[in-house]
Structure 1
Amino acid sequence: MHNQKYGIQVKKLTLTSDYKLTRMSIKTKLIQLLLPFTVISCSTKETKMTQYKWPDANAPVAEINPHKRILHGDTVIDNYYWMIDYFKKGPDSTKVVDYLKAENKYLDTMMSGSKAFREDLFKELKGRIKEKDESVPVFKNGYFYYSKTEDGKQYYKYCRKKGSMDAKEEVLADVDEMAKGHAYFSVSGFSISPDNKLMAYGVDEVSRRQYTLYIKNLETSAILKDEIPNTEGDAVWAQDNKTIFYTDKNAVTLLSEKIKKHRIGSDPKDDVVVYEEKDKSNYIGVAKSKSGKFIFIYSSATMSDEIRMIEADKPDAPFNVFQPRMKDVKYDIIPLEHKFLIVTNWNAHNFRLMEAPFNNTGKDSWKEIIPNRKDVLLSGVEEFKDYMVLAERKNGLAQLRVMDFNGHEHYIKFDEPTYTASVGANPEFNSNTFRYRYTSMTTPSSTYDYNMSTKQQILKKQQEVIGGYNKTDYITERIYATAKDGTKIPISLVYKKGLKKDGTAPLLLYAYGSYGMSMDAAFSSNALSLLNRGFVYAIAHIRGGQEMGRQWYDDGKMMKKMNTFTDFIDCGQFLIDSQFTSKGHLYAQGGSAGGLLMGAVANLAPNLWNGILAHVPFVDVVNTMLDESIPLTTNEFDEWGNPKNKDAYQYMKSYSPYENVEKKDYPNMLVTTGLHDSQVQYFEPAKWVAKLRATKTDKHLLLLKTDMDFGHGGASGRFDYLKDVALNYAFIFSLEGITK
């Protein structure tokens, strides 16, 4: 389960609190785990094929303790409902932990023959990472900010230099040092005061996204006594350098419920609530405009928005509503020097751009600048003093459209058949340089500075490929499968040159397909371990994402959610029919809401896949959506439906993986979860695996791995997560008979 607004949040290096990037709940490490692309190195390995012999061991048998659910005249017996007790602190808490440990022990036994191979894979994956590295500096308010990593260190150092990169370095946060002694450690939302003297940041030591805010004096390096628990991890400074605004969370449901104001040096218990959200289906957050003039409070549901604002130099002023929330109307605002821009779907399915004066912000004063377009989705706007850059999507591909305020415009050109192009860090309002990021399945992650007046661009950094890399050794394609209703579904794929399309190659197919999140093609190191062993890697851009426009999302949510699952199955069958692979060599992978996808396709088309990798899977849809004490449930009613409504209940029950386990053969499966997961609680995959074990009729492998120290995104260190990648790869390699 997740909700998101505009994109993936990379919390570690946030310079300012920007709510546009706070609602995507897959963190960086999980993305790297699910999309096996970060940097590709190119030492070719000979693939050794042999039959892997699985140990003869007995799988754990979960205790049956029937629990009755009666709703809408429908009675359901849940034999494994007791597994919720660790989360609920119930009487069976110890029994739950013991069961999870037994599953871990079983996994260790079954995978014991691949232990040496996994260690080699880990070294192979880690060996492609440039350990000593530095990010592209970002200039803001007189300083260049950047992060750097060092040889052998799991985390990073966050630094700045005043005025020039030749100036003396200030280490603002040594996260390697801060993380010592912690199994998990995440730092969020570095935010610098306007006078550059103080820094706010959040720390999560458990992986439940409950961050404690700290304030550091950058002149003395002292940590102030202002310690604020249970926040989203981001703070926004008022212009007085004494006041911060932050988001306070409900300690049980983890909902962002209140925006509070804190005076530096005061007791956090005395912090004033400046806004409280009464609608539990809304997320809230606080952010500052790039211009520095305004502070905004965002309240956002799946299908509506409401924004409040004050001038940043008046922290004690009451927040005024920009435009009251309207049913099925999303909007975001961008302040320029003398007016607001508004990106909205009000009477515009694919969103349009409008403007409003500072002194009259209600929708009746909105004036259209760019109309709705049937074939182009307007995703967002990056503002500058004299320019704006529109992020758009057309034909399933991202576009960046540069416009000045005199009516001149042009697009930045990208030539590859499938790629990712996105807005980079652009904190300076008074600039004519636009920073963007670009990558494809064969082009390493690249950061460009683009002069919007001269159209000249400078490659600031391309991720270095340790061991060398020749992109001509690999081929990337964009092809289209036909869904059962005739819809064309894009597929991005990559493979090593020389691949024979005769059905003999193994293929790993990934997808997400929820929340309107577009999963674009990207370049990553981990995939080389697949490609160099003869695998094809593919991404299915199925409905439920937003690759092909807003309708693509609408056609894969709520009462049309089944399209997401059948699209993925149709993509898998198309890849077989096109002889990229065959039934005995096709593998599927997805996580979180993509884990729901894995569970659904395992039920709907179990014979299509030789193996499934299901990470932190949202598989107990009905029970979770019925329990409003579970984090995110109330925020998600507009995504999945509310099962208290009979029609929604029946539809959800028709696809929920846990509800639809049957006596039949299932594919080989590796399921992963985290005991402290705040997005998809551990008991969903645990119950699912237990029910599968008791019900399925095959002898295929079914493994459950629970990280007892981590949550939704796995390990926090930049190397530790690779152990999970090595396990995933070893699992499918073993099924393929690849042992080297």
Structure 2
Amino acid sequence: MMTETNLLQTAPPVARVERTETTLHNRTLIDDYAWLREKTSPEVLAYLEAENAYTDSVMKSTEPLREILYAEMVSHIKETDQSVPFREGDYFYYSRTEQTRQYPIYCRKKGSIDAPEEIILDVNELAAGEAFMAIGGFTVSDDGNLLAYSTDTTGFRQYTLRVKDLRTGELLGEHAERVGSIEWANDNRTLFYTVEDEEQKRQFQLYRHLLGTSHDQDALVFEETDERFNIGAGKTRDGKYLLLESASHTTSEERFLSADDPAGEWRLIAPRQDDIEYYADHRNGLFYIRTNDKGRNFRLVTAPVDSLEQTNWTEVVSHRAEVMLEDIDLFASFYVACERAEGLPSLRVVRFAGAGSEVGSSEEIRFPEPVYSAHPHTNREFDAHNYRYSYQSLVTPGSVYEYDLATGASTLLKQQEIPGGFDRELYGSERFFATAKDGAKVPVSLVYRRDQKGEGTNPLHVYGYGSYGYSLPIGFNSNRLSLLDRGFVLAYAHIRGGGDMGKSWHDDGRLMNKQNTFSDFIAASEVLLARGYGDPQRVSAEGGSAGGLLMGAVSNLRPDLFRAIVSHVPFVDVMNTMLDASLPLTVPEYEEWGNPNEPAAFEYMLSYSPYDNLQPGSYPAMLVKTSLNDSQVMYWEPAKYVAKLRTLKQNDSLLLLHINMSAGHGGASGRYDYLKEIAFDYAFLLKELGVVAV
């Protein structure tokens, strides 16, 4: 418990220096704070608590502002709400929330949406007495009688499997630890699940469990021995086959098994080839396979289940250099191609001409705004005649539409309700392309309140990520209204390393091209200022995880450009982490960052690693946030980074470290607790950019 003395701590804690040296490739890395890795050490925990106490003390004056911000955010949420029901088998499934309760309640109704409600899982009840609660796997047997689900109570992404009898509400004796994906066979008695190894948190084994038997008797079906690869189990939409995917960041392969024959033999669709990915679904005796074997942006082929040799693959959609084929949603009479071009997603509905694979008419679903997100919603029925998709933008709340295959018309089923006086006409969004230093055109999306937008006078907040080929989502978030209504322009830089412009965009920002990620973000920020979107003296930036690496890198490269930075769970200790193969994620991530055991990769990674490139000088004000139980970026990375920076920073800007002592990579799990964390971040920004006097 924090004492009043702790809360009034006015000086930042000073971390003890204990020199550690690592020599490789004739270079010696010096780390004075490696001792902070001892998670159970009383000294380490005391230091982290002291950092929290210092942050609380410095931010104490913002408490009234945080309360105002939190109240605003809650006022814009429909606290008691319900998702759009979707049909699966005999039931309509949905989730709902209740005012003041932190977690969702999962429900269903049999036969009709007007039937009596059946609560299948109340996460609030599971969370009773827990500081953290997250649901991992969640799957109902085909007959609707059994729910298999998994829970994490620490934030370390370590999930426990349970099975519930939905007829009686009884929790059965089935139990397994460190579980990942979960899938039922069609007999409603056999459950397949994957588990992780204990050190690297890599899903590497697939087990088969027969209901009512001891888990000690579960059959080990498959084990992935390559440390780069994780496995996951699923089922084709038509329910005919179970699929087992084994994938690294750049390579994949899949096995399949008749869902009616769970004890049968798994067959390989195609053997893995380095840097080739493929993903399959099934229809009418054919696997539809999305693959990048002929080009980075993927093509679509079919292959007969009984004759999978690649010489029998028939091309349905060819590779296109300008269009990324991100996914395929396959149904009995049509498929939907989820594509991305010029940084924007699209949904193309393609009808089959008959029972075969020949295609007939096609139509692209059109979207009205210059900046938006559109992606598939829940579509569980294979023999469907309608298609549900989600749409939102920076100014349009999340919406669920249903596309009618017969008429080509889309019907709005539900749009997120924003209470508290939200008027979308008050807000404007734009998109433009910033020119990077090497001439690349970088998409930038932005949103602002129209009546508060000036010329070069607004506080400007720039967000970025730029890794793993992940396309930065552009959606609505009612929390942002607290910044927009105070005059902020919010910008999102779709920098290289992400997937916004296809796989080549990812390639141009990973491995030996990683520096492009950082220079793109700097260029985007400079162009935003040149175009008058912000006051050069009031610019802030934000990123998390790999986006926290981005924050650390740009802070080193251009500390003069930003007044304040919010860095969530930042991956800043690149060299020490990537040289430790025992840590979760390290070996698989050689394909994203490089293998520092190779001299060229070592030198390149060392050139940008934020922790290793800290130098004496002036730095922006920083709020660095982490969680003690983070399994993806260990808490000690941001802790070490802050400790070292405190010895080098020569100006009086704030440097704050906040550690959630009972959460993981995503922070607080409860929706109200999470809003308090966001209010804390916003208060820091408003204070540092001089928008609100505190």
Fold match, TM over 0.5?
yes
Cα deviation for residue 500 of structure 1 reads 4.0
SS of the residue 1:388 aligns to: strand
How far apart, CA to CA, are the structure 2 residues paired with 1:200 and 1:500?
Answer: 51
Query: Aligned residues: percent identity?
Result: 45
Hey, what does 1:353 align to over in structure 2? 300
How far apart, CA to CA, are the structure 2 residues paired with 1:185 and 1:523?
Answer: 25
How far apart, CA to CA, are the structure 1 residues paired with 2:639 and 2:420?
Answer: 40
| Letter aligned with residue 67 of structure 2 | E
Runs of 5+ in structure 1 lacking a partner? 1-54
How far apart, CA to CA, are the structure 2 residues paired with 1:377 and 1:174?
Answer: 39
Hey, what does 2:107 align to over in structure 1? 159
| Letter aligned with residue 68 of structure 2 | D
How far apart, CA to CA, are the structure 1 residues paired with 2:539 and 2:94?
Answer: 42
1:219-254 superposed Cα distances (whole Å, 9 cap, x missing partner): 11110011111111x310011111100111112221
1:192-245 superposed Cα distances (whole Å, 9 cap, x missing partner): 11111111000111111111010001111110011111111x310011111100
1:402-428 superposed Cα distances (whole Å, 9 cap, x missing partner): 001122101000120010000111111
How far apart, CA to CA, are the structure 1 residues paired with 2:421 and 2:290?
Answer: 43
| Letter aligned with residue 729 of structure 1 | Y
Hey, what does 1:541 align to over in structure 2? 494
Point out the more displaced range, 415-424 or 189-198.
189-198
User: Are residue 256 (structure 1) and residue 209 (structure 2) matched?
Assistant: no
Instruction: Tell me if structure 2 keeps the 8 A contact 1:476–1:492.
Output: yes
SS of the residue 1:323 aligns to: coil
Q: 1:569 aligns with which of 504, 522, 535?
A: 522
User: Are residue 398 (structure 1) and residue 345 (structure 2) matched?
Assistant: yes
Hey, what does 1:701 align to over in structure 2? 654
SS of the residue 1:498 aligns to: helix
Instruction: Tell me if structure 2 keeps the 8 A contact 1:641–1:648.
Output: yes
Runs of 5+ in structure 2 lacking a partner? 1-7, 354-359
| Letter aligned with residue 693 of structure 1 | R
Higher relative contact order (CA 8 A, sep 6+): 1
Instruction: Tell me if structure 1 keeps the 8 A contact 2:620–2:653.
Output: yes
Cα deviation for residue 255 of structure 1 reads 0.9
Q: 2:628 aligns with which of 662, 672, 675?
A: 675
Hey, what does 2:553 align to over in structure 1? 600
For 1:69-84, what aligned pairs fall within 5 Å after superposition?
Answer: 69-84=22-37
Q: 1:645 aligns with which of 589, 598, 604?
A: 598
How far apart, CA to CA, are the structure 1 residues paired with 2:313 and 2:348?
Answer: 22
Hey, what does 2:138 align to over in structure 1? 190
Instruction: Tell me if structure 1 keeps the 8 A contact 2:250–2:277.
Output: yes
Instruction: Tell me if structure 1 keeps the 8 A contact 2:395–2:427.
Output: yes
Instruction: Tell me if structure 2 keeps the 8 A contact 1:252–1:629.
Output: yes
Hey, what does 2:231 align to over in structure 1? 284
Hey, what does 2:267 align to over in structure 1? 320
Hey, what does 1:115 align to over in structure 2? 63
| Letter aligned with residue 176 of structure 1 | N
Hey, what does 1:216 align to over in structure 2? 164
How far apart, CA to CA, are the structure 1 residues paired with 2:224 and 2:482?
Answer: 47
Q: 2:455 aligns with which of 497, 502, 508?
A: 502
SS of the residue 2:413 aligns to: strand
User: Are residue 386 (structure 1) and residue 333 (structure 2) matched?
Assistant: yes
Aligned residue pairs, count? 681
How far apart, CA to CA, are the structure 2 residues paired with 1:734 and 1:579?
Answer: 22
Q: 1:372 aligns with which of 308, 316, 319?
A: 319
Compute the RMSD of aligned alpha carbons: 1.2
User: Are residue 553 (structure 1) and residue 506 (structure 2) matched?
Assistant: yes
For 1:598-637, what aligned pairs fall within 5 Å after superposition?
Answer: 598-637=551-590
**Deviation above 3 Å: which 4+ runs of structure 1?**
none
Q: 1:99 aligns with which of 27, 44, 47?
A: 47
Hey, what does 1:43 align to over in structure 2? none
Cα deviation for residue 56 of structure 1 reads 9.1
Instruction: Tell me if structure 1 keeps the 8 A contact 2:286–2:304.
Output: yes
User: Are residue 335 (structure 1) and residue 282 (structure 2) matched?
Assistant: yes
Hey, what does 2:183 align to over in structure 1? 236
How far apart, CA to CA, are the structure 1 residues paired with 2:536 and 2:562?
Answer: 6
1:630-674 superposed Cα distances (whole Å, 9 cap, x missing partner): 111111110111111111111111101001000111100000000
| Letter aligned with residue 195 of structure 1 | D
User: TM-score scaled by structure 1?
Assistant: 0.91
Hey, what does 2:611 align to over in structure 1? 658
How far apart, CA to CA, are the structure 2 residues paired with 1:362 and 1:620?
Answer: 45
For 1:474-513, what aligned pairs fall within 5 Å after superposition?
Answer: 474-513=427-466
SS of the residue 2:523 aligns to: helix
Hey, what does 1:22 align to over in structure 2? none
1:123-169 superposed Cα distances (whole Å, 9 cap, x missing partner): 11112111110000010011100001111111121011111011111
Hey, what does 1:451 align to over in structure 2? 404
Instruction: Tell me if structure 2 keeps the 8 A contact 1:289–1:334.
Output: yes
Hey, what does 2:3 align to over in structure 1? none
SS of the residue 1:164 aligns to: coil
Cα deviation for residue 269 of structure 1 reads 2.0
Q: 1:135 aligns with which of 48, 65, 83?
A: 83
User: Are residue 587 (structure 1) and residue 535 (structure 2) matched?
Assistant: no
How far apart, CA to CA, are the structure 2 residues paired with 1:132 and 1:73?
Answer: 61
Cα deviation for residue 189 of structure 1 reads 2.3
Instruction: Tell me if structure 1 keeps the 8 A contact 2:9–2:53.
Output: no
SS of the residue 2:120 aligns to: strand
SS of the residue 1:225 aligns to: strand
Instruction: Tell me if structure 1 keeps the 8 A contact 2:627–2:661.
Output: yes
User: Are residue 429 (structure 1) and residue 377 (structure 2) matched?
Assistant: no
How far apart, CA to CA, are the structure 2 residues paired with 1:256 and 1:667?
Answer: 39
How far apart, CA to CA, are the structure 2 residues paired with 1:205 and 1:178?
Answer: 9
How far apart, CA to CA, are the structure 1 residues paired with 2:38 and 2:457?
Answer: 46
Hey, what does 2:667 align to over in structure 1? 714
How far apart, CA to CA, are the structure 1 residues paired with 2:106 and 2:641?
Answer: 41
User: Are residue 420 (structure 1) and residue 373 (structure 2) matched?
Assistant: yes
Q: 2:638 aligns with which of 671, 685, 693?
A: 685
How far apart, CA to CA, are the structure 1 residues paired with 2:455 and 2:562?
Answer: 18
Instruction: Tell me if structure 2 keeps the 8 A contact 1:237–1:243.
Output: yes
How far apart, CA to CA, are the structure 2 residues paired with 1:239 and 1:520?
Answer: 36
| Letter aligned with residue 66 of structure 1 | R
Hey, what does 2:74 align to over in structure 1? 126
| Letter aligned with residue 132 of structure 1 | T
SS of the residue 1:606 aligns to: coil
User: TM-score scaled by structure 2?
Assistant: 0.97
Instruction: Tell me if structure 2 keeps the 8 A contact 1:199–1:217.
Output: yes
How far apart, CA to CA, are the structure 1 residues paired with 2:469 and 2:235?
Answer: 25
User: Are residue 728 (structure 1) and residue 681 (structure 2) matched?
Assistant: yes
